[in-house]
Amino acid sequence: MDAKNYFDTRTTYNLVRIEYTAAFAVCVALAVAHIDRIDWIPALLLFFYIDVIGYVPGAIYCRLRRTNHPPRSFYVLYNVMHSAITQGAVVGAWIAAFGAQWALLAIPIHVFADRGLFGNQMKVFSTPFEPTRIQPFTDLLIAMKEQQQKEARLTQAWR
């Protein structure tokens, strides 16, 4: 993946997931190390509000309407609520209002778990709201595999 080819191969996608999983593990370790100092009501609220606002409305819409392509506003809600920028602003506002608290670890734990453990990235308007393989992506994978095989044959021929 680069600035001109902004897609992931399975390997690069998994490497990004490993990085997020490592960040998740660090946050969980910090939470465990300070478990006696976590105020659990704010921690649970901070953990769940992201999906209550950013995921649940789109999921409900899709289930009620029997579609996997809700209006773009649901994609925007998901992406805004799962953004490190948005959540960083929430953490900053929380610290300004209430002071630094270990409960704030709930936010990066949520975001890093989504990205690392579950593999969820920002949602793209042209793809289904719930992860479902689309035919153009399958076609791309096939074309890439054929290109790799062609390049391998050319490399063999030059040896």
In a domain, 137, yes or no: no
In a domain, 144, yes or no: no
Instruction: Specify the residue for token string 């191969």.
Output: 9
User: 119 is in which domain, residue-wise?
Assistant: 10-132
Of the candidates 122, 94, 103, which has an alpha carbon nearest to the alpha carbon of residue 27? 103
Total number of domains constituting the chain:
1
Three-state secondary structure string covering the chain: CCCCCCCCCHHHHHHHHHHHHHHHHHHHHHHHHCHHHCCHHHHHHHHHHHHHHHCHHHHHHHHHHCCCCCCHHHHHHHHHHCCHHHHHHHHHHHHHHHCCCHHHHHHHHHHHHHHHHCCCCCCCCCCCCCCCCCHHHHHHHHHHHHHHHHHHHHHHHCC
User: In this predicted model, which residue has the larger pLDDT, 59 or 3?
Assistant: 59
Q: How far apart are CA 128 and CA 140, in angstroms?
A: 17
In a domain, 58, yes or no: yes
In a domain, 2, yes or no: no
In a domain, 4, yes or no: no
In a domain, 146, yes or no: no
In a domain, 25, yes or no: yes
Q: What tokens were used for 65?
A: 């309407």
Q: What tokens were used for 33?
A: 């190390």
What is the total residue count of the chain?
Answer: 159
Q: Are 36 and 127 in contact (CB under 8 A)?
A: no
Q: What is the sign, positive or negative, of the torsion defined by CA atoms of 12, 13, 18, 23?
A: positive
At 76-129, the pLDDT tens digits run: 999 999 999 999 999 999 999 999 999 999 999 999 999 999 999 999 999 999
Percentage with pLDDT > 70 across the chain: 99
What pLDDT shows up at residue 75?
98
In a domain, 76, yes or no: yes
